[in-house]
């Protein structure tokens, strides 16, 4: 292929283009429908005693009951598995449902988990408030130790990773961590919500389990809470056999339909989030009122091939963060991220949460930090909003 052809197709000539094609595949349904039907049924019946018995004995595989299996959910799961180059995937009612089901399927009392600092606050609460009293201890380490210390995972059952994490955006070289983990027989689990399969496919770097809060970019429209876990057949089978049915955090057919719908536009959305975010970060970094921008390290060889729309800014002392937040008009104040709308989350507000176990208190978050989620609005409008608010808030 000539250089001209390459530049004409740009990013689409690579993995992003392949994913865009995968996500555009029509569902080849009855009546020629291009989208999967929402199979809103709790149970599925059988034509005969024999067919019923064959299914119960595991000789056939059709859905029996929607807590465990549903055709609309299966369509989403199969697309997600293919998107991350995995053998299998399982959907959940929330990202936390997926995280809890994964961890409880893979640990037993006496096991130890090694986890990165600045982990998602509710995953931290799961480890501290539920797993620890059950005899499963978690130790927390700076992100870079997972690369620099090959012995860190000695005696560890699970390495629980976020790369990047969603506050400070420290990034891991996935192949290095996966290599250390394999030497110690530790299972590697990564929260891949930030990057999505468009910008990071962890299994291709040797990670065992990749999980998502699908409430974020995969849904993309701030109208769904859901989760998905992708991995090899053995691990997904263990989750399906044990924690999906017995904890019961199943993905509903309607939510699965919305997620399949979200995937249709995931690639162009992520490309636009990236484009706008790169522009905003470059402009913010040029301001004297900005001390520092925290964002992931983009390096396709180590994991991340592009930047999504979530990053954080540490403002200079001259900026009054309360005034800044109240002056924003396009960026709305709120938790979560990954939707069409731009959001701001000041660290001081998040720190005000009066919880017994608060990862933000434990790992420390700079008080001058504001996290931004860049949505799909016009980038000049977003810049105008930030710039005006910063001017109004600067003494």
Contacts to ligand PLP by CB under 6 A? 94-96, 120, 122, 166, 191, 193, 213, 215-216, 225, 227
- How many other C-beta atoms are found inside a 10 Å radius of the C-beta of residue 60? 12
Tally the C-alpha atoms within 13 A of residue 194's C-alpha that lie toward its C-beta.
Answer: 30
| Min CB(163)–ligand PLP separation in Å | 11
Residue with the closest Cβ to ligand PLP? 95
> Which of 211/235 has CB closer to ligand PLP?
211
> Which of 282/333 has CB closer to ligand PLP?
333
> Which of 193/312 has CB closer to ligand PLP?
193
CB 364 within 8 A of CB 246: no
| Min CB(125)–ligand PLP separation in Å | 11
| Min CB(69)–ligand PLP separation in Å | 21
| Min CB(13)–ligand PLP separation in Å | 30
> Which of 257/389 has CB closer to ligand PLP?
257
> Which of 205/216 has CB closer to ligand PLP?
216
| Min CB(224)–ligand PLP separation in Å | 9
> Which of 166/200 has CB closer to ligand PLP?
166
| Min CB(237)–ligand PLP separation in Å | 23
> Which of 225/379 has CB closer to ligand PLP?
225
| Min CB(216)–ligand PLP separation in Å | 6
* Residues paired with 319 in a beta bridge: 394
């Amino acid at each position: 292929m000539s250089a001209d052809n390459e530049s004409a197709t740009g990013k689409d000539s690579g993995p992003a283009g392949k994913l865009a094609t995968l996500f555009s595949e029509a569902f080849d349904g009855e009546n020629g429908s291009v989208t999967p039907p929402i199979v809103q049924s709790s149970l599925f019946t059988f034509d005969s005693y024999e067919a019923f018995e064959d299914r119960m004995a595991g000789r056939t595989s059709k859905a029996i009951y929607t807590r465990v299996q549903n055709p609309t959910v299966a369509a989403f799961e199969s697309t997600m598995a293919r998107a991350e180059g995995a053998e299998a995937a399982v959907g959940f009612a929330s990202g936390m449902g997926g995280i809890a089901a994964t961890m409880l399927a893979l640990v037993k009392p006496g096991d130890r988990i090694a986890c990165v600092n600045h982990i998602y606050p509710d995953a931290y609460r799961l480890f501290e408030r539920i797993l620890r009293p059950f005899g499963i201890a978690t130790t927390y380490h700076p992100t870079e130790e997972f690369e620099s210390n090959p012995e860190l995972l000695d005696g560890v059952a699970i390495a629980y990773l976020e790369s990047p994490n969603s506050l400070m955006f420290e990034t891991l070289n996935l192949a290095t961590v996966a290599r250390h983990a394999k030497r110690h027989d530790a299972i590697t689990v990564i929260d891949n919500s930030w990057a999505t399969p468009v910008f990071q496919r962890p299994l291709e770097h040797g990670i065992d389990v990749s999980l998502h809060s699908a409430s974020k970019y995969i849904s993309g429209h701030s109208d769904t809470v859901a989760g998905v876990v992708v991995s090899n057949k053995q691990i997904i089978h263990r989750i399906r056999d044990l924690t999906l049915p017995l904890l019961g955090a199943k993905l509903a057919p309607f939510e699965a339909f919305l997620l399949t719908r979200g995937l249709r536009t995931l690639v162009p959305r992520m490309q636009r989030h990236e484009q706008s975010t790169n522009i905003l970060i470059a402009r913010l970094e040029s301001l004297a009122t900005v001390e520092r921008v925290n964002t992931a390290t983009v390096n396709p060889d180590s994991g991340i091939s592009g930047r999504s729309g979530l990053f954080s800014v540490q403002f200079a002392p001259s900026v009054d963060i309360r005034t800044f937040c109240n002056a924003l008009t396009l960026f709305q104040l709120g938790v979560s991220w990954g939707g069409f709308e731009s959001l701001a989350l000041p660290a001081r507000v998040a720190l005000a949460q009066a919880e017994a176990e608060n990862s933000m208190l434990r790992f420390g978050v700079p008080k001058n930090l504001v996290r931004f989620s860049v949505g799909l609005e016009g980038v000049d409008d977003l810049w105008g909003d930030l710039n005006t608010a910063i001017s109004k808030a600067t003494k």
